[in-house]
Structure 1
Amino acid sequence: MFEPLNKGHAISEATFFFEFENIPETALNLMLEAYQHVADILPRNDPMPGMIFEQSSAGFSMNQVPGAEWKHFRPDGSPDWLARITPNSVSVHCMEYSGWTLVWPIAYRILANIFQSCEDQTLPLINLGLRYVDRFDFKGNVADYDANLLIRPNSPYIASQVRDHGTRWHNYTGWFEPSEKLRMDLLQQLNVDAVEQGPTKLPIVSITHASLLRSQYPGQLDSFRRLTHISESSVATLMDIAHDNNHKLLRKVLTDDMLTRIGLGLGE
């Protein structure tokens, strides 16, 4: 049978991401100065310089620009929280998910400090959203593997032919859904990967689902970079919707038994 990665949920990572055409070096330096305000959450600060390509009358050049990863670690030395700043993106990653009401305020505080440090900078935002990765491990004899023990029969999001082809398969799809609250279309990206891990060839199914906004014209997403108060900002509305979308999607993908085991059963 399949087991969720954790007791009560299957989330291995939740990522809050902002992607840009480019972040000017001045803005990058301002973002990096915000570390002092979140060092209590992310005590490790690792420089992570990036490279950008620039064109001039003399041709193309490749230049190094600043970047960083800020981290918090579990007792075993693996990271459970991470913030990453690169020339094209800002993201916060939670690998120790403890519930939306606990995780989102921490992520918001980190993001707010980063973006408030460079509010007057021009940053062409092209994508932003929330991505979940849920992992399910098959326990038992591999000969008894059956994807239908995990995947809901006739799920509209999983191609029927992939279920009957052993322990290795993939299902990638995407579509847009209108949001009345945001008055924009949200892109839904769903990637399901069934693989055999390591020398034991343990069958694993990972479900990666993202809800994101994609810019259709310059400046369309500017308001989502203004993180004022968590209950008032546009990005908080987006992330709440994205969180709910993930639950709605999983209810159409997973069996009733698995939904109950991860706290998404009927009435939950």
Structure 2
Amino acid sequence: MASSPQNIKALFEPANKAHAIIEAVFFCEFHQPFERSVIDRLLTLEHDETVKADLPGFKRVEGGGIAFSAKDSAFAIQRTVDMEPVGVLLEHFQPNGTADWVVRVMPKVVSIHCLDYTTWSDVWERVQKYFNVVFQKITPSQTKVVGLGLKYIDHFKFNGQPEEYDPKLLFSPSSEFLHGKALTSSGYRWHCHSGWFETIDNAEPDRECLNQVNIDATGTSGGHLTKIEHSMVIQGFEADTEYLMVQSEVSDTALAKAMNYLHDSNKNVLRNLLTPEMIKRINL
């Protein structure tokens, strides 16, 4: 027999005491790779003492390899492409050496990974600072921002016995984001992946948000784990990085407004997915 909802604390545990977030990823997508002049400016961050004080880890991201061409219906090596820098990786570390903040600049994406989530206000303050560090090196650039995104990864561990497992202690049976078999399949291995586009109120006509929610419930050597990965991308942009950081009349940036919207969207999805008990437990 499944345990009652009041036992949810003993059965399903969020990854952290006040929330279940193990990683939050903030990212900007660009319509074409950065020019070499931008990469060269990014490489100077390795010797920037102000940046190193907060992000001491620095690595070059290199690209290259072998180029192929089709000849006589067979692939033949045409030439070897020299490895060259195409991006950078900056990291902040915990005392045990584990990275808890990662700033990654790839040819068409800038992403900031928070692996030690606390509160939205504290995390966003730091994310905005890191975006500023990168954007100052990207600007000026010919490439434009075409998408702004945020991804949350939440983990919930099941601590009960196999016969006690009941996904309805974690998920609301009435959620619109779960298919009909998600909560009734036998055992504790199941998944539910879905996606949709959402109109953004008061936004420009071509701007919409792509949502992807992937739920995976699996058994591991450490027990049963349920992962919720919610990725959101606002599409329809064609802006430079200067536009994203310019203060508006209400002292807010276009980037901050977009990320706040995505943060609220994630909370709304989780409120629809989870039981009232778990919603209260993780402070939603």
Deviations 1:16-65 (CA, angstroms, capped at 9, x unpaired):
11223322222122233345242222111122223489999xx7874533
Correspondence 1:179 to 2:200: yes
Correspondence 1:136 to 2:147: no
Matched position secondary structure for 2:245: coil
Q: How far 1:142 moved relative to its partner?
A: 2.1
Aligned Cα root-mean-square deviation (Å): 2.6
| 1:28 partner letter | I
Instruction: Give yes or no for contact 2:246–2:254 (8 Å, CA) kept in 1.
Output: no
Q: More displaced, 42-51 or 74-83?
A: 42-51
Unaligned runs of at least 5 residues, structure 2: 1-10, 70-77
Match of 1:2 in 2: 12
Match of 1:26 in 2: 37
Gap change, CA 1:224 and 1:213, over 3 Å in 2 = farther
Correspondence 1:79 to 2:116: no
Residue number among 30, 38, 48 corresponding to 2:51 in the alignment: 38
Q: How far 1:194 moved relative to its partner?
A: 1.2
Match of 1:11 in 2: 21
Identity of aligned residues (%): 33
Provide the TM-score with structure 1 as the length reference.
0.87
| 2:218 partner letter | V
Residue number among 140, 163, 167 corresponding to 2:188 in the alignment: 167
Gap change, CA 1:224 and 1:244, over 3 Å in 2 = farther
Matched position secondary structure for 2:23: strand
CA distance in 1 between counterparts of 2:208 and 2:97 reads 40
Residue number among 175, 190, 193 corresponding to 2:216 in the alignment: 193
The structure with more radius of gyration: 2
Deviations 1:70-97 (CA, angstroms, capped at 9, x unpaired):
1111222211101011222211000000
Poorly superposed stretches of 4+, deviation over 6 Å: 52-56
Gap change, CA 1:193 and 1:138, over 3 Å in 2 = same
Unaligned runs of at least 5 residues, structure 1: none
For these two proteins, the number of residue pairs brought into alignment is 258
Give 1:109-258 correspondences, 5 Å limit: 109-165=129-185, 166-183=187-204, 184-197=207-220, 199-200=221-222, 202-215=223-236, 220-222=238-240, 226-229=244-247, 231-258=251-278
Provide the TM-score with structure 2 as the length reference.
0.82
CA distance in 1 between counterparts of 2:67 and 2:240 reads 24
Match of 2:122 in 1: 102
Q: How far 1:69 moved relative to its partner?
A: 1.5
Deviations 1:146-172 (CA, angstroms, capped at 9, x unpaired):
111111112100112022222222211
CA distance in 2 between counterparts of 1:245 and 1:101 reads 16
